[in-house]
Structure 1
């Protein structure tokens, strides 16, 4: 595997390099047809996990201007047991390029309400997003909690730090989290055929502390994997060695470093 290929964030498993299309997502639901924000926040935890995989617009100033309000909003959702975890996705230069959030809601409509009321969305900082129900099959809460980024270290590299933030030199030996957002081929029989080998592989990764969370999307369209690795190349190797990639089950996948800014571990329950 060439070094150039290993550094690419968007790959296709069979037909060369390709971008994971977020533009084929369903149209955003009209706000008038959605539950109210207060209604969504007032319910009890229901253990339906919805992943919001969102990419920012190119206008960095717009993203930066809405970040503080987004973080306040995210804290509120966690306090109401509606946000399981969340944090920014980083590009190859270590700059925020999007955000990954996992909601705990009763329905996809409720998740749409939470997504549309996010200051990032209200202020035009989101270029596109996908909401997908996620079934968590494997999780290591201890390692996930250990990966939570302290508040005083949240200013990402390449951006000015807040006055009260502690300057921290990047540690190349510190393990980081990486998200693999994968889309499967449409041939479900092929997915099932390769599944035993894939499950054996993921169990080995989990035993080695290299797989923090994993599970399929409820509609069978793909899966989300959260790796623990020391570099992008190392995380990419974990994805490329997966039998799902080797045997062509991954139609496309997107790999990105993920900084975990908030966690409500009590909402995580593996099947």
Structure 2
């Protein structure tokens, strides 16, 4: 089972910075023990880390909650809020090599003195390279509307996946929303992918939160695992 942890930092960046090194070590250990699929910071429009997205591979929601509560970011008060949801991944045709190429490494995008794992704040990417963007979407409560629009949405998802614009996506297990990870050259380009989605046109998306996502850790062996 995959669980998404979508977390935002507190305003006190001192707490975030103070707990970052321990969080990095913790995230690295989870990846090593096949508990963390991938993770990295969520960026605001100015390129500053405003939170973190972590995707766990666990046997139960209780186990996922334990991983969240054991994270130094949580233990040391660096997280203002987090949302934990089971993720039913549907788009499994992932180009792992392409995804791995997006990893931010110390010698590519981040100064060597900075930690290069899921909590770090990196330097901006190459101007012409495609970046990763996360759409954390909430659905309307009218389930009939979701069902009506779902075939068109899935056809659209297949089309943009074939073009390399959709990396991995799927709804939350309770059908309250979805997580979609796009590849785009700008936030405007990623926003266009949402605007053209039938779920947007048919009013299925009650709210969408689009953020650039810097991938600082990846356990490729867990991508295809249910």
Q: Tell me if both proteins adopt one fold, taking TM over 0.5 as the criterion.
A: yes
Corresponding residue to 2:217 among 232, 248, 262:
262
Aligned twin of 1:124? 77
Aligned twin of 2:204? 249
Aligned twin of 2:165? 210
> Take 1:263 and 1:238, find their aligned partners in 2: how far apart are those partners?
24
Change (3 A) 1:93 1:169: closer
Aligned twin of 1:37? none
> Structure 1, unaligned stretches of length 5 or more?
1-47, 156-160
Alpha-carbon displacement from aligned partner over 1:141-191 (angstroms, at most 9, x marks no partner): 232222121233454xxxxx44489x9774211100000000101111110
Match runs of 1:85-100 below 5 Å: 85-100=38-53
Aligned twin of 1:54? 7
> Take 1:53 and 1:124, find their aligned partners in 2: how far apart are those partners?
16
Change (3 A) 1:270 1:242: farther
Corresponding residue to 2:30 among 59, 62, 77:
77
> Structure 2, unaligned stretches of length 5 or more?
116-121
Aligned twin of 2:156? 201
Instruction: Report if the CA contact (8 A) 1:88-1:99 is conserved.
Output: yes
2:107 alignment partner, SS class: helix
Change (3 A) 1:239 1:164: closer
TM-score, with normalisation over the residues of structure 2? 0.91
Alignment partner of 1:187 is 2:152: no
Name segments (4+ residues, structure 1) moved above 6 Å. Answer: none
The Cα shift of 1:270 comes to 6.8
Structure whose CA Rg is larger: 1
TM-score, with normalisation over the residues of structure 1? 0.77
1:251 alignment partner, SS class: strand
> Take 1:88 and 1:121, find their aligned partners in 2: how far apart are those partners?
15
Q: For this pair of structures, how many residues does the alignment match?
A: 218
